[in-house]
Amino acid sequence: MKLNKGFFVIGTDTGIGKTYVSSLLYKGIKDRDGGYYKPVQSGCTRKNGKLVAPDVDFVCSMAEVEYDDKMVTYTLEAEVSPHLASELENTEIDIENIMKDWENLKERYKYMVVEGAGGLYVPLIRDKFYIFDLIKKMELPVILVCSSRVGAINHSMLTIEMLKKLEIEIQGLVFNKVTNDFERDYFEKDNIDIVLKLSGIKNSLIIREGERTIPEKELEKFLGIEVK
């Protein structure tokens, strides 16, 4: 098995910037034998007669690589939760197909960024299989994308506590879309400080609005790998 280390990226809420963070992580490892994978994508659009996953398309654009169908297993058109989109489109989500693709990617890459579909409790199969089930099956630590705005403490801690309850390893927290005027907007800094103190998590990254790369040393420290 080639894979040295992989990470599963989830968010505390919709629109938190999970795909943006995934793109920066992938951009930082792609030239060091790193790969990206999105198991399931709903809300896909048709281009030249085939469904294209918008998250994968965005990540590839940010990382300046060509779109690759092997980066996603299931593409669904309806812009709803994967379980419902699959029902509406009469497409069965087979977890074994996801795991088969995952095993192939593990043989190909040394490092992997896996992007989930929303948060921890998003269903992939109604009443049967959730994102947290997939994380446990893939045996990956989680990178949790958090906000620093109003509501950040509650949203972050609810997900962190559930991850701990499910005995899922947390690689670290990424506070995304942090204002560039960090010193003036002291409440954002206070929110971050409180989340880190309450959670006891020491490994974290701050990504400010408009940033398009993560500094190499920060990335190495956060992921616990050498990207050079």
49 appears as a binding residue in the annotation:
no
Which tens digit of pLDDT belongs to each residue from 31-78?
999 999 999 999 999 998 899 999 999 999 999 999 999 999 999 999
User: Domain-by-domain residue ranges, the chain?
Assistant: 5-223
Q: CB–CB of 40/73 below 8 Å?
A: yes
Catalytic residue, from 27, 30, 38, 106: name it.
38
d(CA 40, CA 71) in angstroms, rounded, equals 10
Question: Is residue 35 within 8 Å of residue 105, measured between CB atoms?
Answer: yes
* 94 pLDDT more than 60: yes
pLDDT recorded at residue 59: 98
pLDDT tier at 124, thresholds 50, 70, 90: very high
pTM above 0.75, yes or no: yes
How far apart are the C-alpha atoms of 223 and 209, rounded to whole Å? 21
pLDDT tens digits for range 126-161: 999 999 999 999 999 999 999 998 889 999 999 999
Per-residue pLDDT of 12-25, as tens digits, reads: 988 899 999 999 99
115 marked as part of a ligand binding site:
yes
Q: Which residue has the tokens 């907007």?
A: 185
pLDDT-derived band at 8 (thresholds 50, 70, 90) equals very high
130 φ, ψ (degrees, to nearest 5):
-120, 170
38 is catalytic: yes
CATH 3.40.50.300 fits 5-223, yes or no: yes
17 marked among binding-site residues: yes
